Amino acid sequence: RRFLASKEQFHAYLRAGGEPGGQADAEGEEEVGSCQSEPPAKRVRSEDPSQDGESREDAGAVEKEPAERKRARGQNKSRPCMKPNHYEQSRLCPSVTQGCAEKCYFGPRCRFLHDVGKYMAVKPADLGRSCVLFETFGKCIYGVTCRFAQAHLGDGYQNIVNTDLAKQWEGKSLVRNNLSKDLQHQLRKRKFIFKKADEYLCGLAKSHSNGGKGGKATGHSTEEQEVSNCTTPQEGLGDSPACPVLPEQGKDPKPDALQSPGPTGGEEASSIKTVGPVTDEDLIKLRSREKRKLEIQGKLYLAPLTTCGNLPFRRICKRFGADVTCGEMAVCTNLLQGQSSEWALLKRHHTEDIFGVQLEGAFPDTMTKCAELLNQTIEVDFVDINVGCPIDLVYKKGGGCALMTRSNKFEQIVRGMNSVLDVPLTVKIRTGVQEKINVAHKIIPKIREWGASMVTLHGRSREQRYTRGADWDYIAECAKIASPMPLFGNGDILSYEDANRAMQMGVSGIMIARQVSVGALIKPWLFTEIKEQRHWDISSNERFDILKDFTSYGLEHWGSDTQGVEKTRKFLLEWLSFLCRYIPVGLLEYLPQKINERPPYYVGRDYLETLMASQNVDDWIKISELLLGPVPTSFTFLPKHKANSYR
Could you tell me where the DSSP H helices lie in 510-581?
Answer: 526-532, 540-558, 562-579
Q: Specify the pairing of strand 348-349 against strand 382-387.
A: unpaired
Residue 82 contacts residue 570 (beta carbons within 8 Å):
yes
Q: Give the separation between CA 362 and CA 410, rounded to whole angstroms.
A: 8
Residues serving a catalytic function are 389
Per DSSP, what are the bridge partners of residue 319? none
Q: Give the separation between CA 517 and CA 470, rounded to whole angstroms.
A: 13
Coil vs helix vs strand at 324? strand
CA angle (519 as vertex; 516, 525 as ends), nearest 5: 155
Residue 454 contacts residue 444 (beta carbons within 8 Å):
no
Residue 414 contacts residue 403 (beta carbons within 8 Å):
no
Calculate Rg over the CA atoms of the chain.
27
Beta carbons within 8 Å of 309's beta carbon, 6+ residues apart: 302, 303, 326, 327, 328
CA angle (170 as vertex; 169, 175 as ends), nearest 5: 65
Q: Give the separation between CA 613 and CA 620, rounded to whole angstroms.
A: 10
263 burial class (0-12, 13-18, 19+ CB within 10 angstroms)? middle
Q: Give the separation between CA 602 and CA 1, rounded to whole angstroms.
A: 9
Let me know how long the chain is: 647
Instruction: Locate the DSSP E strands across 309-402.
Output: 325-331, 348-349, 355-360, 382-387
- Among residues 567, 565, 546, 551, the alpha carbon closest in space to that of 612 is found at 546
Instruction: Locate the DSSP E strands across 47-187.
Output: 175-176
Q: Give the separation between CA 520 and CA 302, rounded to whole angstroms.
A: 8
Could you tell me where the DSSP H helices lie in 241-348?
Answer: 256-259, 280-283, 311-319, 332-336, 340-343
Q: Give the separation between CA 396 and CA 10, rounded to whole angstroms.
A: 43
